[in-house]
Amino acid sequence: MAVDILGYAGKRVVIMGCFSGTGEACARTLVALGAEVHGADIKPSPVDLASFTQVDLKDPASIEAGVAAIGGEVDAVFNVSGLPQTFPGEDVVTVNFLGLRHWTNAWLPRIRKGGAIVTVGSLGGMNYLARQPLLKEFMDNPDIASGRAWYLANAERAGDPYTLAKEAVNTWVQQSAPALMERDIRINSTMPSPIDTPMLNDFRKVAGDAVLSAFAKAKGRYSSAQEQALPLILLNSDAASFISGVCLPVDAGLSGGLATGVLNLQQMIAEASGG
């Protein structure tokens, strides 16, 4: 007899960011696993969901209305939306962190005991521990409006908005884990390497081919959307019931190689550039 170790059959879940890419792959897989999947995004999802609600993560009223429209309790929250640096910086930090935090906090009273939250971060946020004073300043802003205002006033010091937002995601996950565990709710994030989705072209415009190729060197290719969706599904599943506060690299070993000196990013970029 097959054993359902993930435990999604009959579970009610909500996924923010299911229009395309990793979010679409995640939503499709959750439906196949027997979950009741409620999706939200700025654009309609092609997945056959239990419901879809249009939500703009830059707009607090839209977020609150979206949560109310879906309603009820949920077992898991998946945060898979994202915006690259080709958009205005204040929108990047809002969609990738401030709005997601607002969305998640609005769901907290509705998450059942034993529930879980997972958010897509990025390898771009892996230096978060070294930037805690700056991140604290940013994250101490309690809402979207004040967070956007802080970013606009501190953009030069904050640096790349995508990196700032993803570092904030990792910090938020680890800060939140102890208090949420008191309610038997888990929270984790993933840190993907570049993913072969349409958004990759936006990152290519910002970082260039050499940098992206260097990040793909560990496996010799970019990851697929499904290869990033499955770890999200694992982290929010019954199989991960004792895992919380984790920022999981999903990068074919790249970050481990960089951390231990086995790999040298600058050398990899130079090689990818033909140098």
The pair of structure tokens assigned to 86 is 């080709």
pLDDT at 212: 80
Nearest to 122 by CA among 201, 218, 200: 200
pLDDT at 82: 92
Report the half-sphere exposure of 47 (CA within 13 A, side-chain side): 32
Q: Between the CA of residue 223 and those of 27, 192, 212, 234, what are the distances in Å?
A: 18, 8, 12, 17
Q: Between the CA of residue 70 and those of 64, 66, 110, what are the distances in Å?
A: 10, 6, 11
Phi, psi of 3 (to 5 degrees): -110, 130
Give 87's contacts (C-beta < 8 A, 6+ positions apart).
95
pLDDT at 218: 79
Burial class of residue 245 (count of CB atoms within 10 Å of its CB; 0-12, 13-18, 19+): middle
Under DSSP, is residue 46 helix (H, G, I), strand (E, B) or coil? coil
Average pLDDT, the chain: 94
246-259: average pLDDT: 94
The pair of structure tokens assigned to 156 is 């030069």
pLDDT at 275: 62
Q: What percent of the chain has pLDDT over 90?
A: 81
Lowest mean pLDDT among 60-69, 242-251, 263-272: 263-272
Tokens 């499955």 belong to which residue?
A: 230
pLDDT at 1: 67
The helix (run of H) or strand (run of E) holding residue 177 is helix 161-181
pLDDT at 143: 98
Phi, psi of 23 (to 5 degrees): -65, -40
Q: pLDDT tens digit string along 83-106?
A: 988 999 999 999 999 999 999 999
Residue 146 has pLDDT above 90, yes or no: yes
Distance CA 102, CA 60 (A): 7
pLDDT at 211: 79
Distance CA 134, CA 154 (A): 10
Within its chain, how far is the Cα of 147 from the centroid?
18
Q: Do residues 34 and 8 lie in contact, with contact meaning Cβ atoms separated by under 8 Å?
A: yes
Residue 70 has pLDDT above 90, yes or no: yes
Complete domains list, the chain, with CATH: 12-200+223-252 (3.40.50.720)
The pair of structure tokens assigned to 7 is 């435990």
Distance CA 150, CA 133 (A): 14
Torsion angle, CA of 137/143/145/150, rounded to 10 degrees?
Answer: 0
Q: pLDDT tens digit string along 225-249?
A: 999 999 999 999 999 999 999 999 9
Residue 196 has pLDDT above 90, yes or no: no
